[in-house]
Amino acid sequence: MIYMSLKGVKNIFFDLGGVLVDLEKARCIKEFSDQGISNAETRIERSHKTGLFLALETGSISVTEFHDQFRKIAGCFISDENIDRTWNLYLGEVHPKKIDLLKKFRSQYHVYMLSNTSKIHFDFLKDHTFLKEKGCAIEDCFDKCYLSYELHLYKPDPKIYEYVLNDTSSKASECLFIDDDELNIEAAKNLGFKTCLYKSMDDLKELFGEF
């Protein structure tokens, strides 16, 4: 159970994948395997969050460079379009109730996205996922999106939390951060954020009541 006072909270920072957007890792891996990548799960896991994908999500390499390097890892030719299409299969849906919650919060709090993500994923979400849910665009749900590939900063580096505090002219004690990664949560908590380690929709209901 989550027991937390939201008194004094003015800003809510939501993680994206695993909190707002369901993740479909198995579907993505299967499709890459079907395209001819042997040991797709091992190859992708080896680079995810540590190598090539980390470089993409920190903006250290361009999307074009990512495509070229991915083909080397894959050991076979996959077009740019198929790389993007398959990588975007990692992203599932946004529950309609979460969209309702975000829009409701806009009248009560400043609502932000704070995400480790790539241009490939974020462009897809802007153009497909969020628009699909009740015709609600990202700009209708968030005051601003803080994205790792644009900031060249990556959770749980304390610098990314310090950046958003400075950019929003906020005190950490006025901020609630919701994420599904314990390391990210601990880093924010160490700076004074109120935090919620997200595991399911029930966590949001316990925090904010039924919605």
Nearest to 16 by CA among 76, 66, 90: 90
Buried/exposed code over 158-185 (b: 16+ C-beta within 10 A; e: otherwise): eebbeebbeebebebebbbbbbbbeebb
Catalytic annotation, pick one of 15, 84, 179, 180: 15
- Residue entry with tokens 């027991």: 3
Residue 15 bears catalytic tag:
yes
Residue 93 dihedral angles phi and psi, to the nearest 5°: -100, 165
CA distances from 81 to 21, 64, 84, 88, 207 (A): 22, 11, 5, 11, 40
Catalytic positions, please? Answer: 15
